[in-house]
Amino acid sequence: MKLSLQWKWFGALAILLAALLLVINLCIDFFLSPYLFERIRADLERNAILASEVFESRLRARPAETWEINALAHAIAKRTGVRVTVIAPDGMVIAESDKPQNQLKSIENHLNRPEVQAAIQRGIGSATRHSDTIHVDLLYVAVAMRQENLLGIVRVAIPLHEIKQTTDRVQHIVAMASMVVGIVAIPFLFWMARRTSGPIDEMRRMAMRVAQGDFEARAPTQIKGELGELGRALNEMAGQLENRLRELAKEQAELHATLASMIEGVLLVDATGKIRLANHAILHQFHLADAVLGKTVMEVFRSTALHDVVSRTLAGREVRDLEVPFFGQEEHIFHVNAACLQVASGACIGAVVVFHDITRLKQLENMRKEFVANVSHELRTPLSMIKGYVETLLDEQPPDQQTARQFVQTIQKHSNRLEALIDDLLTISALESQQTHLHFEPASLHAIATDVMNEFAQPARTKSVSLSMEIPGTFPRVKADIQRLNQVFSNLLDNAIKYTQSGGHIRISAKENKAEVEVCIADNGPGIPPEHLPHIFERFYRVEKARNRELGGTGLGLSIVKHIVQAHGGRVWAESKPGKGSWFFFTLPRSRD
């Protein structure tokens, strides 16, 4: 059972009081008896000296009778309460206060008694022993009486049992007093323990409530002295702690909100390189779980380059940055910045690592390089052809008229190709930069598809390709820019006619979905290999480059289709089965009109 502070304090005070009373009683037991013995011996010496002066004056004045000396001894003993013995120089007892006159001769010689010998030699002597005369333990003090010669010895004695009785009486009185003091002191000690421990216990409960987050708790302050000052100090500490925790909670909430809203991944590592904090962005970027906390950077990311960046930052205490590639399901490139966290003393307690995903920037940079290379290649071929034919026409020996006409027709063909390429480049540039303003209005897919089919009827007949449309005139209208939508149909139908063999068939169809319509342009041409399908909507991507140029394509038609459909809020994709044909799909939002 756990005792309260009040009972502990009361027990300590009670034990202290008991120990004090015990020490007092032990001191009386050990020191009172010797002290009383010395005091009584000193009193006996004074009594012996006084008695010796009385007897010496009698013996010196005239020879005294034995009965007279014995009577005087009885009188002195009666007044002083001590035993008085007068001993002649030869050791015979001539007076004894405890014996009548007629029994003095029966007392043995006292000359060899220790106190008597000490008195003869030093003038005064004492001894403690059992008396053979009265059969009790006595304290003897003897004083020699001298004139010129030894006149005799006066000896006084007191029973030792009187010293013991006095000691026992004092011990009994002290023990009873100790008992009374203990009984009287117990309520006082209990009151004092309660008065002292009560406020301390209240302060303890207040501290426990504050530790549990209850900052409304307050310690008593009405007490005077140090406990009152302690209570006021605890209350002030609780108030300051509440304010500090409120500020820390606010700062922590702001930090978490900031980290959660950041698109950059953020890691916080301690001085040992273990992760202490990871925001949502980095968990999403690397498909990590919350269990990364407490692990090292190497355990989580398996990247030696990242581990080296963090290690050098913790060692060098300077900002470091590096581009680090990570290979997972897809390759990602991150620009990593690491900075050391320093306290006021300058010690490095950790590092902050920020991950900027520059994968898209790298892809755009590569696309730009590829775009420049592709445009350069696409422009160089027709320009080289035009330049060659012009140089031939301008030769000192020009070709005949028929050949020259063929050359001019070839120059015109490549000029038209250049013009188409530049137009497509301008179109795709305007769409990507969002400089083209689309004019949305309700549009009839049946009407647009009919116009495009009429436009490509002649090329289709030339190649013996049949066209069919399965979009009824009552088909729901779509919200679209009619001119751009016409361009989508034209590019897809043009591609289908170019790549469909003679005798083939192209079909245009559409179906309704919830909030959109889905359009399909299908052919039964050679189809597209599966590995090319994910890339056919990229700029300048060709499945068969040489054949595409022969057919006059710029390599931008499908890319323009993708941008126009996406600008309408739709999707575009392709499906194909080699040897059976291809299906190009795109969706458009339905018109509410």
Residue 249 CA to residue 479 CA, distance in Å, equals 51
Do the beta carbons of residue 583 and residue 522 sit within 8 Å?
yes
pLDDT tens column, 78-104:
888 888 888 888 888 888 888 888 787
Checking if the pLDDT of 573 tops 70, the result is yes
Q: How many residues does the chain have?
A: 593
> Residue 533 gets which letter from DSSP?
G
Residue 420 CA to residue 378 CA, distance in Å, equals 11
Average pLDDT over residues 494-506: 89
One fold for 363-431 and 437-589? no
The pLDDT assigned to 237 comes to: 81
Query: With bands split at pLDDT 50, 70 and 90, how would you rate the model's confidence at 547?
Result: very low
Angle at which helix 66-80 crosses helix 33-61, to 10 degrees, equals 150
AA letter at 435: Q
Question: Per the structure block, which two tokens stand in for 200?
Answer: 């301390």
The more confidently predicted of residues 448 and 329 is: 448
Chain centroid to CA 258: how far? 20
Checking if the pLDDT of 42 tops 80, the result is yes
Residue 514 CA to residue 516 CA, distance in Å, equals 6
- What residues does each domain of the chain span? 5-166, 262-357, 363-431, 437-589
Percent above pLDDT 90 for the chain: 8
pLDDT tens column, 306-321:
888 888 888 876 667 7
Give one DSSP letter per residue of 263-323, joined into a string: SSEEEEEETTSBEEEE-HHHHHHTT--GGGTTSBHHHHH--HHHHHHHHHHHHH-S-EEEE
Residue 431 CA to residue 564 CA, distance in Å, equals 7
Query: With bands split at pLDDT 50, 70 and 90, how would you rate the model's confidence at 517?
Result: very high
C-alpha pair distances (Å), 451 with each of 102, 465, 469: 177, 17, 11
The more confidently predicted of residues 381 and 279 is: 279
Average pLDDT over residues 412-423: 74
> Residue 138 gets which letter from DSSP?
E
Checking if the pLDDT of 385 tops 50, the result is yes
Residue 76 CA to residue 57 CA, distance in Å, equals 15
Residue 83 CA to residue 77 CA, distance in Å, equals 6
Radius of gyration of the chain measured on its C-alpha atoms: 64
**Fold held by 363-431:** Helix Hairpins (1.10.287)
> Residue 395 gets which letter from DSSP?
S
Among candidates 82, 88, 50, which has minimal Cα distance to 69? Answer: 88
Query: With bands split at pLDDT 50, 70 and 90, how would you rate the model's confidence at 546?
Result: very low
N-terminal to C-terminal alpha carbon distance within the chain:
85
Output the pTM of the full model.
Answer: 0.45
The pLDDT assigned to 553 comes to: 58
C-alpha neighbours within 13 Å on the C-beta side of residue 227: 15
C-alpha pair distances (Å), 592 with each of 442, 481, 514, 515, 519: 8, 15, 12, 10, 18
The pLDDT assigned to 505 comes to: 93
Phi and psi dihedrals of 517, rounded to 5? -120, 150
Coil, strand or helix at 548? helix
The pLDDT assigned to 554 comes to: 64
Angle at which helix 401-432 crosses helix 557-567, to 10 degrees, equals 30
**CATH architecture of the domain with range 262-357:** 2-Layer Sandwich (3.30)
Residue 255 CA to residue 176 CA, distance in Å, equals 74
The pLDDT assigned to 521 comes to: 93
The pLDDT assigned to 183 comes to: 82
The pLDDT assigned to 61 comes to: 59
Residue 1 CA to residue 302 CA, distance in Å, equals 55
State in words which class domain 437-589 has: alpha beta
Residue 90 CA to residue 109 CA, distance in Å, equals 8
Cβ burial of 573 (10 Å; 0-12, 13-18, 19+) is middle
Phi and psi dihedrals of 125, rounded to 5? -150, 160
CATH number of 5-166: 3.30.450.20
